[in-house]
Structure 1
């Protein structure tokens, strides 16, 4: 999947981000698109919108698995890198619940990133 297809999928699954995703300065920029989706995920965690959070997390994993290399790198360098701070900002009472929603592919990339940085 290329960045244009990813943008279309994001807008179809999460219509509330359409305006920001389709701004001329954001179109075709995988880093910006992943930043927008990451901010949306943080917002869904803060608002305890479990269904929307699940959709967004699975969408992130889909882009990580099926996206072209620029999209995959953006997911790892933006979302996976910020996952630690996202989880730490999450209320402790919900942290386990949120962690349980993270798809295995994204969680594996997160764990690999932690081990790489510790070497």
Structure 2
């Protein structure tokens, strides 16, 4: 999957992201694209939109598994890196639910990143 295909899929799953993703400066930029998706995932957690959250997290994993290398790197360097702060900011009552929705591939990348950093 290339960045254009990823952006189209994101817009199909999160129609509200269309405005940001369709900005000319964001065309072909995997880092900005993943930042936008990460921001929407944080909003979904804050607003308790669990069904949409599950879809967005699975989309993130799909891009991590099937995306071109630049997209995979963006997922690891933007989303996976920020996952710790996202979970810490998550209300404790929702933390278990949110953690349970994280797909195994993303969670594995998160754990690997923790081990590499020496936690």
The normalised TM-score by structure 1 is 0.98
Structure 2: runs of 5+ lacking an equivalent: none
Aligned to 2:38: 38
RMSD between superposed Cα atoms in Å: 0.8
Aligned to 1:112: 112
- Residue 9 of structure 1 and its aligned partner are, at CA, apart by 0.8
Structure 1 SS opposite 2:26: coil
Aligned to 2:82: 82
**Aligned residues, how many?**
119
CA distance in 2, matches of 1:79, 1:107: 11
Aligned to 1:9: 9
Aligned to 1:64: 64
Structure 1 SS opposite 2:25: coil
Structure 1: runs of 5+ lacking an equivalent: none
Listed one character per residue, the Cα deviations across residues 73-102 of structure 1 (whole Å, up to 9, x for unaligned) are 000000000000000000011101100000
* Structure 1 consecutive aligned stretches of length 4 or more whose deviation exceeds 2 Å: none
Aligned to 1:95: 95
Structure 2 SS opposite 1:57: helix
- Residue 12 of structure 1 and its aligned partner are, at CA, apart by 1.1
